[in-house]
Amino acid sequence: MEVQIMGYVYLAGAILGELLGTNLLKASNGFTKLTWALGAILAYVMCFYLLSLAMKTINLNTAYALWAGVGIVVTAILTVVIWHEPMSTSAIIGTGLILVGSILLNLNLN
């Protein structure tokens, strides 16, 4: 059980790394700001390393669905809060559907 918990700790770190990397990528302005670009690269390296550790104990479909789903939903929220980018109604609905899909994939319904 403890090993499984560590898998989710690694997955949480991978999600945070992806969120950090994505926002630093935006801040790098197309890799024209070197410090932000290097930060984005380092965050993505950390993200994929932690994701690989998480997949030692978490099934690929579960790990990837959570990583991608949570990453997309939180990134969408951060684009509005940090970057002041608008979200259309269809984008909000689509993001909600991604969240619902991620939850359904993790319910393991037969």
Tens-digit pLDDT profile for residues 4-14: 899 999 999 99
Nearest to 10 by CA among 78, 68, 63, 70: 63
DSSP 83: S
Instruction: Categorize the per-residue pLDDT at 105 as very low, low, confident or very high, splitting at 50, 70 and 90.
Output: confident
Nearest to 63 by CA among 12, 26, 99, 24: 12
Here the tokens at position 93 are: 């609905």
> What's the pTM value of the predicted model, to 2 decimals?
0.89
Q: What mean pLDDT is reported for the chain?
A: 93
Which residues, at least 6 apart from 78, have a Cβ–Cβ distance to it below 8 Å?
Answer: 19, 23
Nearest to 66 by CA among 33, 30, 108, 36: 108
